[in-house]
Every structure is written in C-alpha cells, then in structure tokens.
Structure 1
C-alpha cells in the first residue's frame, strides 16, 4: 500500500493522490469533512447499541507482525472516496458555515494555509476552505497537504476573513459572506431602534393627551 512519503517524481505533482495512497486519521477526517472524533466513532467495529460500524475500513501499518495499539491508524484513500460518494449530505462544516452570524464567529472550520509565513512568524496566509468538497482544486491541494507543501488551520470564518490570503478572489468570496451577514444584522438592529423610537413616541403622545 502506498504511503505518502513514497510519492516521488511525476506522482508528487499529480492533480490528485492515487486511490492506493493512505492518509493518517487527521487527514482522513479532513478529507471526509468530519472531525477526528467523528471518524474515530465511525471506525468502531461495533457501536454501543450493537449496530455494526459503517465507517471506512481501517488500515494499520504492519512491520513484521501485528501493529501495536499505539501505531497510527491509516485509511486507504480509495476507501475514503467511496465513502464520500455514498455520503453526499452537507457536512457539519457546511452547516456551521451557513448558520448565520453565530456560526460565522464561533464555529471552527478547516482552512488550507501556506506552510511558511510570508510576512512574519505566526502570520498565516490562507489558500481556501478545506471543507468545500465542490472546490475543483481540493484534490490538488490534498496532494500539497500530504507532501507537506501546505498545512491546514482551524479557524472561525470571522478569523479567516480577517487573515491574509494568497489571492484576492478567494478572500473576497469569503469576506463578502461575512459582510452580507453584518449588513443584515445592522439592518435588523436599525429596524429595532426605529421601532423602539416609534413606540416611545406613541407612548409619549398617549401620556400627553
């Protein structure tokens, strides 16, 4: 089974990793747009209520015998792709990104980011949303992620919008969603203020008469 470190030459620059590649649990969870904890639950062979687990099959590295309990759990990418095709419902990340201002400022989402800070140490430069399965560049970015060329960071959309980005178009696409939410919230607050002023005026008028 191919490991990530085995990819050299043309495969290292491929548009997508081959099905034979294996991913550690953290990247496997990211690929499926779920959390590592959710993936750990899915890989259980038996659930507490007795139902069989329905997650991707587990791949454990074996060197001269059975793998120990502390060995990392690896997933075959082909299996992950089959699982993703069979489960096309919006992910928890999709839901969090579309739950209004609360989700915008509180829900942590995975974003692809440049490996090394361009400006100064600790100043991230984002590339795109790692949960967006419709992104045509997502598979290529997983190649870069698997090879250590880029990384991913967990941020709220608010934090991401306030970060630096590698290109203006991607930053603008996310930022506009936040600005639209803020405009909507501002309009709601202004309408409430106007209604309060009208109520106060009506009350004062009634008192005067």
Structure 2
C-alpha cells in the first residue's frame, strides 16, 4: 500500500494511481465481486490494439508467498473502470424491483466504531455508487482503516442507522417508492377481482 498517511493537499482526498489495494477492496472499487475480479485475471482472448482491456493483472510479485494477498494498482483499476462504464451488477440489483431490494447483497460504507452499543452498525453510504462525490475520499478512509464496508440487502440497509439523515432519507425513499408501487399493484388487483366478481356473480 502507498504511504497514505503522508497524503496531503488535493491528493489527500483520493488514492494515488501508485497506491495498491488487496483483491477484496479492488473488487469493491470496481463494483464487482471478488470472484468476478479473479475471473478477470484470466485472459480469454488475445487483446487487440485499441480495444478495451478485458484482463486486470495484479501487481507482479505481490503474492510471492501463497498466503500473501494479491495487490492491484489503483491506476490500473481506474483505467479499467473508465473503459467499462456500463452499470454494474450492483446497479442492476438496485433497480430490479422489490425482490432484489430484499435479497441482493450490496456493499455499504460503515463507521468503523459504531457510536452506539457493540453489534450495531452505522452506515455512511453505498460503496457501489460511482456518482458519489465522496467515494474516492471514502476509499482513502477505507484503506487507512478509518471506516469499513458491510454487505447488506437494501432492505437491511434502509432499516439500519446512518451517519446522516439526508443520505438515509434519500436511500430509504427508493424502498418506500417500491413499497408504494407494490401496494398499488395489489390494490389494483383486488379492485379487478371485485369487478370480475360483480360482472359474473356466482349462484
């Protein structure tokens, strides 16, 4: 890992390209699972000049010992992310309805030491959200061990405590909107059933 504690000025709010992240955090940075990142270490076809990179190589020699973690350069991760701007699996899960809301696990930034009793969590934001202007700063904090990340369903996250009301409210509104939509669909179905029964009364 680069000497993150020495970062000052503008660089203090973003990881330098020369910094390295272990595979778990590298996958989080790219909004994918560690298994997907591991798969990207394998070349499936020859790269053509000018094509988007489809392979991500870890830092050479970063795992000389089998117990050593694989490390990835942040610059390499950024280049890959720029070349693959499509919505991630996390984005898809977040936007595919109530079933995904209650079942798909997503990564969230969370406070390292909860301000309440042990065993509780206080969330900070969605770790998959590339549009979050504080995402790079949060990765600096994550790399320094100031915060952590937790894998939760959206339903679990919405019912957790958050560090600030505005972020919690904005996220929770997505779930409340889904609930309203589901409620309206159920009410519409009940009304249609009533109309059907009225049009064809049973003896």
Give the counterpart of 1:23 among 21, 24, 39: 21
1:55 and 1:163 mapped to 2: Cα distance? 37
Query: After superposition, where does 1:190-201 map in structure 2 within 5 Å?
Result: 190-201=187-198
Contact 1:29 1:39 in 2 (8 A): yes
CA RMSD of aligned residues (A): 1.9
Counterpart position of 2:83: 86
Counterpart position of 1:161: 158
Q: What's the TM-score once normalised by structure 1's chain length? A: 0.88
Contact 2:32 2:89 in 1 (8 A): yes
1:194 and 1:36 mapped to 2: Cα distance? 47
Give the counterpart of 1:139 among 118, 136, 141: 136
List per-residue Cα deviations over 1:111-154 (Å, max 9, x = no partner): 00000111111110000000000110000000000000000000
Counterpart position of 2:55: 55
The DSSP-based 3-state class of the residue aligned with 1:121 is coil
Q: Where does structure 2 lack aligned partners over 5 or more consecutive residues?
A: 48-52
1:182 and 1:125 mapped to 2: Cα distance? 24
2:77 and 2:102 mapped to 1: Cα distance? 30
Contact 1:16 1:140 in 2 (8 A): yes
Structure with higher Rg: it is 1
Contact 1:112 1:151 in 2 (8 A): yes
Q: Where does structure 1 lack aligned partners over 5 or more consecutive residues?
A: none
Shift of 1:60: 4.4
- State the aligned residue count: 197
1:188 and 1:26 mapped to 2: Cα distance? 40
1:87 and 1:118 mapped to 2: Cα distance? 38
Query: After superposition, where does 1:1-209 map in structure 2 within 5 Å?
Result: 3-4=1-2, 6-11=3-8, 14-44=12-42, 46-47=43-44, 54-61=54-61, 67-204=64-201, 207=202
